[in-house]
Amino acid sequence: MALAPGYAAPSLSTVANSTMFAIASFLLTLVLLYQIKATSNKKRDLHRLPPGPSGLPIIGSMHHIVSKKPMFRWIHHLLNEMNTNILCLRFGAVPVIVVACPEIAREVLRKKDAVFASRPITFASWSFTFGYKASALSPYGDQWRKMRRVLTSEILSPALERRLHGRREEEADHLVRVVYSQCRTRDNSIVDVRYVAQHFCGNMIRRLMFSKRHFIELTPVSRNAGPGRDEVEHVSALFTLLNYVYSFCISDYFPALTGLDLDGHEKVVKGVMKTLNRLHDPIIEERIHEWSSLRAQGEKREIKDFLDVLVLFRIQKDNLFCRLKKSKHRQR
């Protein structure tokens, strides 16, 4: 087919730009539809929420985090302006309830504790608990209740506390020796209290959880040595976890943006989990293999740390699941 005189075929760059614009428009449309659907699903519950500013479409009052600093003064101004002691602010898809009255706070924390006992769902808390399989950061529900029973009856039991009391004393004595050694070897006798306290916490966690202060086996002479590279990375990852677990992340308020990592929050969280998995997984796998071998031989040993409790709970749960599965198969 002949082209009309003066017709110029579109260049590759023009076609590429048009394609990128179409893809971007399609993705933006999906985000808008998701937010509209989420908003429409919650409209039937809006009448039950406390009063609050209407906010902008999709983002709600999120823009005030930047424009109204300090935030608490703006919130107090809203409470006075609306003449209320309870306020609802919408940040993206997340409603935030503000209470400024002792009577209402008492009702929230005591009478309605079952309603408000849950924890917020965030990308960091989901990652750190492997999909909310733990108890400390998990939302209120069946898994949280199950892990709470394990904690109260096994890990925090008086019997295990007495059994591990000696390790706590050993770590306290080790802390005193470290501080004393630093005071003797340094001319100005300056001790970095933050560094010492952080590694004391790390040593205590590893002794109670894994029955070891260092990740690598040391000789009896060097067991009282300071933290190595793995221990430094471990403590750094743990304190980064504490800093990021409930810090601001844009995808927590706009779930459709999860994976884009616009603020770099997800990259840090994944880096922390990579470090913890690299250090923890070999110890956990070795302990699971040890207990599985003991149970296969009909033997057992004394529980020596928190990891033993969790591994035994996992093995017993798997065995119960296998027995139930076999029972159902026989009934068929």
| Distance, CA of 237 to CA of 227 (rounded, Å) | 14
Per-residue confidence (pLDDT) for residue 324, from 0 to 100: 43
Measured over the CA atoms of residue 301, residue 305, residue 311 and residue 312, the dihedral's sign is: positive
Task: For 136-195, write each residue's pLDDT tens digit.
Answer: 888 888 888 888 888 888 888 898 899 999 999 999 999 998 888 888 876 667 888 899
Strands 86-91 and 94-99: antiparallel
Per-residue confidence (pLDDT) for residue 7, from 0 to 100: 45
The CA-based dihedral angle spanning residues 27, 29, 32, 38, taken in that order and rounded to the nearest 10 degrees: -90
Per-residue confidence (pLDDT) for residue 219, from 0 to 100: 61
- Give 182's DSSP letter: H
Per-residue confidence (pLDDT) for residue 210, from 0 to 100: 92
Grouping H, G, I as helix, E, B as strand and the rest as coil, residue 56 is: strand
Q: Among candidates 163, 161, 192, which has minimal Cα distance to 178?
A: 192
Low-confidence ranges of the chain (pLDDT < 50): 1-4, 7, 9, 46, 320-331
Show Cβ contacts of residue 55 under 8 Å, excluding neighbours closer than 6 positions: 61, 89, 90
Per-residue confidence (pLDDT) for residue 118, from 0 to 100: 81
Domains of the chain from N-terminus onward: 50-117 (no CATH), 153-331 (1.10.630.10)
Per-residue confidence (pLDDT) for residue 294, from 0 to 100: 86
Confirm if 162 and 302 have CB atoms less than 8 A apart.
no
Per-residue confidence (pLDDT) for residue 298, from 0 to 100: 83
Confirm if 91 and 65 have CB atoms less than 8 A apart.
yes
Measured at the CA of 321, the angle between CA 129 and CA 136, to 5 degrees, comes to 20
